[in-house]
A = this chain, B = another copy of it.
Amino acid sequence: MKTVSRVLNSEPNVSEATRRAVQAAVEKLQYRPHPSARTLAGRRSYLVAMLYDNPSSNYLMEVELGVLDACQAQHYNLMLAPLVYDAKDIVAKVEALILQSRLDGVVLTPPITDDEALLARLDARDIPYASISPKETHRRVGVVLDERSAAREMMAHLVSLGHRRIAHIKGHPAHGASGWRLAGYRDGLQDAGLDYDPTLVVAGEFSHGSGVAATHQLLDLAQPPTAIIAANDDMAAGAICAIFERGLSVPKDVSVCGFDDTPISRQIYPSLTTVRQPTREMGRLAALELLKEIRERRTGGLVDVSYALQLRRSTGPAP
């Protein structure tokens, strides 16, 4: 019996002949190991959870697909854990989840990646976790991308088109990406020798509606911008709606660009210039690092992925 177990788990100390014989029998009998028996006898649950906020964003759906991919490839199960981040009892909720479901590990998405209380609890319980775009990267497992340089490059693109009054709609303040993208925006201004004008930087929270509102605010300015760089695609789509509502045109009157290259960037008119993040791949890689960490502690690392400007129709020469 144990020999069969060894073959099924690719463990060493089985002769090639025996291994083959077992495999043949498995095939013939259509044998499938029972996951629960395995979990009960062994120490692991073969279950990881993905913790996330805001379940209906385009971005998270892509991430989920990637995480799922990696889990399936390694025969792990994925449990979806939508969390309302406002709730102050997030730590308690996650704790209950871990206790009840015996999770082997968790994948964290922003802004949960940087909840100190939660991370401390995870560490204390010795639950491995991998983060996607965490704010703090010291000694972390997961995946990151140089968002600041991406924003800076996007700025260079706008400047090259002749834009001088470039506005920025910020992301949700709890997300690390918001800060980096703003920093890149400022880098871009500096590169072009432009002054930082605080009236051109308005708050947003990654939602379509917040993009609409922010854009109306910008267009009400005595000297409205000729280009808007939104911290994500949903807000950029909102910006385009607001511009059209005023009878203006994109990109003739105002150029707009977003971030993330989510499906919506190709589904609106005009198609959106944006920064391509390999979102799905990021989910996959984060999950892969998590699984490594689960198998063997201290072997997971922080993977750096690269972005690419995706030039489409929503940006054009300054009027």
**A interface residues (Cβ-Cβ under 8 A, vs B):** 30, 32, 34-37, 39-40, 45, 55-56, 61-62, 65, 68, 77-80, 82, 99-102, 208, 234, 237-238, 240-241, 244-245, 263-264, 266-271
Considering residues A36, A61, A62, A263, which has the most beta carbons from chain B within 10 angstroms of its beta carbon?
A: A36
Residue pair B35, A100 in contact (C-beta under 8 Å): yes
- Given known A78-B80, A102-B35, contact A267–B269 (CB-CB < 8 A): no
Within the assembled complex, what's the spacing in Å between the Cα atoms of A268 and B240? 8
When all copies of this chain in the complex are counted, the total is 2
Extra inter-chain contacts (19) besides given A32-B100, A56-B65, CB under 8 Å: A30-B99, A34-B102, A36-B40, A36-B45, A40-B40, A55-B65, A56-B61, A56-B62, A61-B61, A65-B82, A68-B82, A80-B80, A208-B266, A208-B267, A244-B269, A244-B270, A264-B267, A267-B268, A268-B268
Residue pair A238, B267 in contact (C-beta under 8 Å): yes
Q: Which residues of B contact A100 (CB under 8 A)?
A: 32, 35
Q: Which residues of B contact A240 (CB under 8 A)?
A: 269
Q: Which residue of B lies closest to A31 (CB)?
A: B99
Q: Which residues of B contact A266 (CB under 8 A)?
A: 208
- Given known A65-B56, A68-B80, A99-B32, contact A241–B268 (CB-CB < 8 A): yes
Within the assembled complex, what's the spacing in Å between the Cα atoms of A100 and B234? 39
Q: Which residues of B contact A36 (CB under 8 A)?
A: 35-37, 39-40, 45, 102
Q: Which residues of B contact A263 (CB under 8 A)?
A: 56
Tell me how far the C-beta of A106 lies from the nearest C-beta in chain B, rounded to whole angstroms: 15
Tell me how far the C-beta of A98 lies from the nearest C-beta in chain B, rounded to whole angstroms: 10
